Every structure is written in C-alpha cells, then in structure tokens.
Structure 1
Amino acid sequence: MAVPHYTYLKMKMPGTKGIITINGDYEKSSACAAASIRLAESLVIVAEKKLLDRVVAMAGKQPNLSPEPKESETEGSFKPAKETKKIPLDPERHIVIGANLDSN
C-alpha cells in the first residue's frame, strides 16, 4: 500500500492516524548512486581484463587459455529447452517457446 515518489525522495503510506510520509536524503541518495556507479565500472573493468588476458594468451600462442570463456565461466548463460516450437506473431515475426509448457 506504500507509494514511492522517486523524484521527490518521498514515500507515502496509510497509517492508523492518517498518511505517513517518509522523506529521503538527497545527499545520501547521490552518494549511493555514485558508489553504485563505481562498483559497476569496477565489475566491467574486471570482465574486460579477463577478456584482454585471453586475447594476449592467444597472441602468445599459449594453449592453456582461449579467447572464448568456458561454459562454466559464463554467468547467466541461457540454454533453450530441448524441444521448442515456433509461434507466429504476424507474417514476418515469430517467437520460439518450449514445447512442453503448461497451458496455464
């Protein structure tokens, strides 16, 4: 039942004696956003360094590293279902779904 107002850093919700308003802190919000940006940049740098190490290894003809990561190293890798079927959306487009999905 709470309603967040992100622009104003406020959240309103019903209380026993009327509407409760919780105010946010702009400085704290800005500091948190900056810290999140630094974390995201550091994660990107780590991933790019791993890829660069693989490229350097391939250039040096080192057999222990390849430019393609192993399947176990890829996070969130997507594997489609073994049995799929195409569902037409319109004459030019279609989607692929699992063939054994429930009708619910």
Structure 2
Amino acid sequence: MAVPHYAYLKMKLPGPKGLITITGDYHKSLECAQAVAKLDESLVIAEERCQLDRIIVLANEMPAVPISAKEPAGEASFQPSKETKKVKLNPKDPSCSKYVVVGTRLDSK
C-alpha cells in the first residue's frame, strides 16, 4: 500500500494513526545510484570475460577444418528453376513495384 514518488524522494503509506511520510536524502540517493552503476558495470565485464575464456577454450579444443571453395553439386544443393515468372505482390495497386519470382512448374498443392 506504499506510494513512492521518485522525483521528490518521498514515500507515503498508511499507518495505524494516519499517513506516514518517509523523506529521502538526494545526496545519499545519488551516491547509491553511482555505486550500483559501478557494480553493474563490473559484473557485466566479469561475465563477458568468463564467456570469452570459454570461447577461447572451445576454439583451442576444436581442430581446424579447411573450408572448401566449391560446394559439390548434388541432390541436396539448391538449384534455381529456369522456368520462372514474376508475380506482383499487390495486383490491385498499379503503383506497386514489388514482385516475387515463382517457378512455373510448381504443384498446385
């Protein structure tokens, strides 16, 4: 049931004999915010270092695999169809200049 107001550094809450108002200190609030920012930054830096260390360990464990310059053409490789047609994306709009290219030998399903 507490109502904080961050701009005025006040918090109001109901008490047994009426309204209780707690007033904060601007200078102490600023010190706490700066300390939390430094702590957050140090925790992020520590986590990034830990992740980099893990990546370096994994990179050193994996053997180097040469990358072939040319992929072998087989059934699994993608081959574009030579029989295609352009289909307008929005046929009702004459100013639309966007098209999609589809194969003309596609199954109707």
Q: TM-score, normalised by structure 1?
A: 0.49
